[in-house]
């Protein structure tokens, strides 16, 4: 500084390149002017407060290998599931019979070109009864690596590649891997607390976790991006459209909601980034490690702490309620509309089915199968008699 002139401190303009295409130029004051070389005078047109420009690559680009590995794992699990299913052994009307044991169940049973519910259950589908009463908690994780059919698999894996690779490049495999798996667990947990009469499979909960993480990352790192309002509106619209699809029948929207909420909170924890001043001063001439600029803003730290507490409390309470056999539908009479809204075109009746075996009053028939949908208003009973030792009935029971 000149003696009494009171010249303002020099500043630099730093251009930040983001892989999202949101570039910004920000002026940053530096605490001391850059050192000059002895004997070298200033240029003719240069003033003590010359504005300098520097190019900064904000974050190191990571090679994405984890997300493609997740896709490969899902494909391999689907192939193994189809092998375990072995449609020709259990049905005479398999789809694509030339595939042998890898052929698909009949369309009337599985329109997604996939295995039977029995095969999915063997491979680790989410079955609340087995989680609670047979202590098979691992199903909360394994179900997110299984899919109901080719169409289901393709939709989820294409979405994972589009969303996941971009995030892994920006944040690395550790943070995105944790975000994906924990969000999937959160989706399974909320699904198990609300949908207890059906099995559930799919990576949708984990995918919605990535979407939730993208939203919270944009919020907590608000100062980094240009055009952030437009980016926020676009992202919210995409999330709203995807969640609205979940109100259709046979779609587990509770897994979507649980994954999204988990990912949204985890995004504040895993995807936090340093503020502008801290990053830019490291590239400013005259930078000193004793700079007083904090790495994170106060609101970032507050969101980090609150989100971490909510995640820990939420998962703990959810697991305790699940292991105690709590059905949240009993405590929330309207929550089922979050997963399916009945209309004139479809029904949302997912009442559990009770099965009962009894003797038939016909010669040589030993067993009868009662399929009775439980309802407060009525009960419909279908009877099916079989010959022999009950093997046929047991196979039919297994298919429900």
Given the residues 58, 152, 256, 336, select the one marked as catalytic: 256
pLDDT at 198 over 80: yes
Domain assignment of residue 343, yes or no: no
* 309 and 262, same domain (yes or no): yes
Given the residues 200, 204, 262, 339, select the one marked as catalytic: 204
Query: Can 204 be counted among the known catalytic residues?
Result: yes
How many domains does the chain divide into? 3
Domain assignment of residue 1, yes or no: no
The C-alpha atoms of residue 250 and residue 143 are separated, in whole angstroms, by: 16
Please name the residue that has the structure tokens 């038939």.
360
* 158 and 94, same domain (yes or no): yes
The C-alpha atoms of residue 94 and residue 89 are separated, in whole angstroms, by: 10
* 73 and 53, same domain (yes or no): no
The domain that holds 219 is classified in CATH as 1.20.1540.10
Give me the pLDDT at residue 33, please: 47
Query: Can 47 be counted among the known catalytic residues?
Result: no
Instruction: Give the global pTM.
Output: 0.74
The C-alpha atoms of residue 211 and residue 371 are separated, in whole angstroms, by: 41
* 52 and 172, same domain (yes or no): no
**pLDDT (tens digit per residue) in 56-115:** 455 567 889 999 999 999 999 999 999 999 999 988 899 999 999 999 999 888 889 999
* 148 and 122, same domain (yes or no): yes
Domain assignment of residue 137, yes or no: yes
Higher pLDDT, 375 or 250: 250
How many other β-carbons are positioned within 10 Å of the β-carbon of residue 287?
15
* 255 and 373, same domain (yes or no): no
Domain assignment of residue 3, yes or no: no
- Which residue range is the domain that position 367 belongs to? 353-398
* 18 and 116, same domain (yes or no): no
pLDDT at 136 over 70: yes
* 32 and 146, same domain (yes or no): no
Quick check: 57 and 283 in contact, CB under 8 A? no
pLDDT at 14 over 80: no
The C-alpha atoms of residue 386 and residue 400 are separated, in whole angstroms, by: 17
DSSP 241-288: HHHHHTTSTT--HHHHHHHHHHHHHHHHHHS----HHHHHHTTSTT--
Average pLDDT rounded to a whole number, residues 3-9? 53
Domain assignment of residue 102, yes or no: yes
Domain assignment of residue 345, yes or no: no
Binned at pLDDT 50, 70 and 90, residue 379 comes out as very low
Domain assignment of residue 237, yes or no: yes
The C-alpha atoms of residue 320 and residue 299 are separated, in whole angstroms, by: 32
Binned at pLDDT 50, 70 and 90, residue 276 comes out as low
Edge-to-edge strand ranges of the sheet holding 353-358: 353-358, 365-373, 382-387
Give me the pLDDT at residue 367, please: 36
Domain assignment of residue 82, yes or no: yes
As given in the structure block, the two tokens for residue 291 are: 């700079």
Average pLDDT rounded to a whole number, residues 234-258? 88
pLDDT at 328 over 50: yes
**pLDDT (tens digit per residue) in 343-372:** 877 777 655 444 444 444 444 333 333 334
The C-alpha atoms of residue 167 and residue 176 are separated, in whole angstroms, by: 7
The C-alpha atoms of residue 10 and residue 49 are separated, in whole angstroms, by: 5
């Amino acid at each position: 500084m000149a003696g009494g002139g009171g010249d303002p401190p020099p500043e630099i303009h730093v251009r930040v390149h983001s892989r999202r295409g949101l570039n910004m130029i920000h002026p940053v004051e530096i605490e001391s002017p850059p050192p000059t070389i002895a004997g070298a005078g200033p240029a003719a047109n240069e003033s003590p407060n010359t504005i300098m420009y520097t190019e900064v690559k904000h974050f190191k680009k990571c090679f994405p290998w984890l997300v493609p590995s997740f896709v490969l794992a899902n494909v391999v699990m689907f192939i193994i599931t189809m092998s375990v299913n072995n449609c020709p052994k259990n049905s005479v009307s398999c789809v694509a019979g030339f595939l042998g044991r890898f052929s698909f169940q009949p369309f009337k049973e599985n329109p997604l070109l996939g295995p039977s519910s029995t095969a999915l259950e063997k491979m680790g589908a989410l079955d609340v009864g087995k989680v609670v009463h047979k202590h098979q908690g691992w199903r909360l994780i394994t179900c997110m690596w299984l899919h109901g059919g080719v169409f289901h698999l393709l939709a989820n894996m294409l979405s994972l590649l589009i969303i996941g690779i971009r995030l892994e490049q920006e944040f690395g495999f550790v943070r995105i891997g944790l975000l994906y798996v924990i969000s999937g667990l959160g989706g399974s947990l909320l699904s198990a607390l609300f949908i207890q009469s059906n099995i559930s499979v799919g990576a949708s909960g984990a995918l919605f976790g990535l979407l939730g993480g993208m939203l919270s990352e944009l919020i907590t790192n608000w100062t980094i991006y240009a055009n952030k309002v437009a980016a926020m509106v676009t992202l919210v619209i995409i999330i709203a459209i995807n969640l609205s699809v979940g109100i259709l029948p046979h779609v587990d929207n509770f897994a979507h909601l649980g994954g999204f909420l988990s990912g949204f909170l985890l995004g504040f924890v895993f995807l936090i980034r340093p503020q502008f001043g801290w990053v830019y001063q490291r590239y400013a001439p005259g930078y000193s490690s004793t700079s007083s600029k904090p790495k994170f803003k106060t609101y970032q730290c507050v969101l980090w702490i609150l989100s971490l507490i909510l995640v820990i409390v939420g998962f703990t309470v959810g697991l305790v309620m699940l292991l105690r056999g709590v059905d949240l539908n009993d405590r929330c009479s309207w929550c089922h509309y979050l997963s399916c809204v009945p209309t004139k075109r479809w029904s949302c009746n997912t009442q559990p089915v009770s099965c009962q075996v009894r003797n038939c009053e016909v010669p040589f028939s030993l067993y009868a199968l009662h399929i009775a949908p439980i309802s407060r208003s009525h009960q419909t009973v279908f009877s099916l008699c079989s010959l022999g030792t009950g093997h046929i009935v047991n196979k039919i029971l297994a298919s429900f």
